[in-house]
Amino acid sequence: MISSCAKLDLKLDYIVVRSEITTKIHLSEISLLLIESTAVSMTTSLLCELSKRKIKVVFCDEKRNPFGELVSYYGSHDTSAKIRKQIIWPQEIKDCVWTEIVAQKIRKQAELLHYLGKSEANLLEQYIGELQIRDKTNREGHAAKVYFNALFGMSFTRSMEHPINAALNYGYAIILSLVSREIVANGYLTQIGLFHDNMFNQFNLASDLMEPFRILIDKKVYEFQPDKFEHEEKMILVNVLNQEVVMDNKTQYVSNAIKIYCKSIFDALNENDVSLIRYYRDEL
């Protein structure tokens, strides 16, 4: 995260950050570069190298909120072939994969509520059993209302202006950017979703795939219950990416778990087999 006036350039595979002091970081150690200040300048050579190495770059506005990101034209050597596959994925497998994603999201929400001793977890588990293909009865929406009210109180809504919502939105934006990076890196288009189909959203597919990882942000925001949302709170959420989770009985950082999960989603879609999807396990 670059939070103050600085100049960023490239030197021998290192990003060089020149501000009050000069810092060098090898590009192999970076998965996400967050430019939080508008008083930052970057060389084109650095931007090109970041793109080649599939390092996600997220830019913030004058209010220090994410507003855009660097997306490479070419994420994979066989992008054209991948996109042709994506366009003709059968609706049946897309619906099945989306339903599995929704079920996993609600399951993660229920796990968090169980961990916190909230009785509403039982209702969420009931919703999982009621899920239909493509969630025709909107169990996801019902679960979300019960879930957020259980976490933050009956008066809480996701539309209200509050530091909690600011923190949630910021954390979700970080997760979205990591998922979109993996979509592009695998050679697919972020615009064409499985369920999300907003003509104004260029990240429809990332909006679909990110759902099970939202709960990591929810848990962190619940833990520190922000009454303000400034730099310190943002750093807490960015560091969620360095949190460890379990995947296939191996410990992974969240950023790497997202990579493995996204690849498994594409395997499931291309092989018409939802059993190929691999999910993380958070040691609550």
Q: Is the dihedral of CA 75, 80, 82, 87 positive or negative?
A: positive
Q: d(Cα 260, Cα 265) in Å, to the nearest integer? A: 9
Task: Tell me the per-residue pLDDT of 110-158, one tens digit each, with 9 for 90 and over.
Answer: 999 999 999 999 999 999 999 999 999 999 999 999 999 999 999 999 9
The SS3 assignment for 66 reads: strand
At residue 275, does pLDDT exceed 70?
A: yes
At residue 264, does pLDDT exceed 70?
A: yes
Q: How high is the pLDDT of residue 147?
A: 98
Strands 66-70 and 56-60, by their bridges, are antiparallel
Residue spans of the domains in the chain: they are: 6-70, 79-276
Q: How high is the pLDDT of residue 76?
A: 79
Q: Alpha carbon of 157 to those of 108, 153, 164, 237, 275: distances in Å?
A: 20, 9, 10, 20, 35
The SS3 assignment for 283 reads: coil
Average pLDDT of the segment spanning 79-95: 95
Q: Which residue has the tokens 């994420």?
A: 75
Q: In the structure, what pLDDT confidence band is assigned to residue 207 with cuts at 50, 70 and 90? A: very high
Q: How high is the pLDDT of residue 229?
A: 93
CB 49 within 8 A of CB 17: no
At residue 197, does pLDDT exceed 90?
A: yes
Task: Tell me the per-residue pLDDT of 164-187, one tens digit each, with 9 for 90 and over.
Answer: 999 999 999 999 999 999 999 999
Average pLDDT of the segment spanning 240-263: 95
Average pLDDT of the segment spanning 237-255: 94
Return the structure tokens found at 283: 């040691």
Q: Measured between alpha carbons, how far apart are the two ends of the chain, in Å?
A: 27
Q: In the structure, what pLDDT confidence band is assigned to residue 64 with cuts at 50, 70 and 90? A: confident
Q: What is the mean pLDDT of the chain?
A: 94
Q: Per CATH, the architecture of 79-276 is what?
A: Up-down Bundle (1.20)
Q: How high is the pLDDT of residue 282?
A: 87
Q: How high is the pLDDT of residue 90?
A: 96
CB 135 within 8 A of CB 96: no
Q: Kind and range of the H or E element at 70?
A: strand 66-70
Average pLDDT of the segment spanning 41-55: 94
Q: How high is the pLDDT of residue 75?
A: 75
At residue 85, does pLDDT exceed 90?
A: yes
Q: How high is the pLDDT of residue 284?
A: 67
At residue 71, does pLDDT exceed 90?
A: no
- % the chain with pLDDT above 70: 100
Average pLDDT of the segment spanning 104-111: 98
Average pLDDT of the segment spanning 51-68: 90
The model's pTM: 0.89
Q: How many CB atoms lie within 10 A of CB 182?
A: 24
Question: Which CATH superfamily groups domain 6-70?
Answer: CRISPR-associated endonuclease Cas1, N-terminal domain (3.100.10.20)
For residue 194, with 0-12 CB atoms within 10 Å meaning exposed, 13-18 middle and 19 or more buried, which class applies?
buried
Least confident of 72-86, 94-108, 222-236, 266-280: 72-86
Q: d(Cα 228, Cα 255) in Å, to the nearest integer? A: 26
Q: How high is the pLDDT of residue 247?
A: 94
